[in-house]
């Protein structure tokens, strides 16, 4: 029996990348997993689909259901939760992983992109949490994990490094900073209810199939690359224990917990 046996998880942005990998690992730990993204099928320029994620969970003997939906649409957010609970039961673990990441100079950011970034990165996690929280409170247990980003940290300077000057992460970082503050605030409100709320950021570029396909990993800098299994291990630690109110970073969290990294099937690497 895995650490999440008998629990139901909902993971957004789960057709590829961190979301797909985490869904696979949650399933390997015994959770029934609802996965959602915009499409069940492949997009032409990126590998990975919701069908692939469901198949990965089922390979380990888990149960999964795919829900195609646009998180930018409030009606779709309500439908995701309704369909997930109808298929699998009340949600015990919510992982808000889906995000819109625009890396553009300030003057190139349109109003549309600004609104999309905050709708997906802040409003959608906020509303999904509102939808699942009453049930968690009634059962007096639950885990809400928001996947954030190191870009939420303040730029240090002057002098400013090259990324602060040219990285284009202003709006993305703003939205993730809001997500971090939401996480700690909600943790405080839920402290007496047995519900854990945390935020987790990778400390480096995560080596996912999508990132590899787009050639986004920094060449010649292995110190700036994080295996997806490491990110997932840190996320799992925040979806099964009693830590709450953390704005955590993957590698330091695992070091603090003295927790080894395992494969997506739950076996030692």
Q: Determine whether 112 is an active site residue.
A: no
pLDDT at 257 over 70: yes
Residue 90 located in a structural domain:
yes
pLDDT digits (tens, 9 = 90+) for 22-80: 999 999 999 999 999 998 876 656 778 999 999 999 998 999 999 999 999 999 999 99
Check if the beta carbon of residue 25 is closer than 8 Å to that of residue 266.
Answer: yes
pLDDT digits (tens, 9 = 90+) for 81-125: 999 999 999 999 999 999 999 999 999 999 999 999 999 999 999
Q: Domain span at residue 179? A: 8-257
Domain count, the chain: 1
Annotated catalytic residue, options 103, 112, 160, 172:
172
Whole-angstrom CA distances from 154 to 39, 42, 220 are 34, 36, 26
Q: Determine whether 176 is an active site residue.
A: yes
Annotated catalytic residue, options 103, 112, 160, 176:
176
Q: What is the pLDDT of residue 220?
A: 63
Residue 14 located in a structural domain:
yes
> Taking the CB of residue 171, how many other CB atoms lie within 10 A of it?
22
* pLDDT confidence band for 210 (50 / 70 / 90): low
* CATH number for the domain that contains residue 133: 3.40.50.720
Residue 267 located in a structural domain:
no
Report d(CA 27, CA 48) in Å as an integer: 17
pLDDT at 192 over 60: yes
Check if the beta carbon of residue 95 is closer than 8 Å to that of residue 35.
Answer: no
């Amino acid at each position: 029996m895995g650490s999440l046996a008998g629990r139901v998880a909902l993971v957004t942005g789960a057709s590829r990348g961190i979301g797909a990998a985490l869904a696979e690992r949650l399933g390997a730990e015994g959770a029934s997993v609802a996965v959602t993204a915009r499409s069940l099928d492949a997009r032409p320029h990126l590998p990975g689909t919701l069908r692939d994620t469901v198949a990965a969970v089922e390979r380990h003997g888990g149960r999964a259901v795919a829900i195609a939906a646009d998180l930018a649409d409030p009606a779709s957010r309500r439908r995701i939760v309704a369909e997930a609970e109808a298929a699998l039961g009340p949600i015990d673990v919510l992982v808000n992983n889906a995000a819109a990441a625009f890396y553009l100079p300030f003057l190139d950011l349109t109003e549309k992109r600004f609104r999309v970034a905050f709708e997906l990165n802040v409003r959608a996690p906020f509303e999904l949490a509102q939808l699942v929280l009453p049930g968690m409170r009634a059962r007096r247990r639950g885990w809400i994990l928001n996947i954030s980003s190191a870009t939420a940290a303040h730029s240090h300077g002057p002098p400013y490094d090259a990324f602060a000057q040219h990285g284009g992460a202003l709006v993305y970082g703003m939205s993730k900073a809001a997500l971090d503050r939401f996480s700690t605030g909600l943790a405080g409100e839920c402290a007496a209810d047995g519900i854990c709320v945390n935020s987790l950021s990778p400390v480096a570029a995560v080596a996912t199939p999508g990132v590899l396909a787009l050639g986004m990993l920094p060449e010649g800098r292995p110190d700036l690359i994080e295996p997806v299994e490491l990110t997932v291990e840190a996320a799992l630690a925040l979806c099964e224990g009693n830590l709450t109110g953390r704005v955590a970073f993957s590698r330091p969290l695992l070091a603090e917990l003295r927790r080894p990294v395992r494969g997506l099937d739950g076996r030692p690497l």
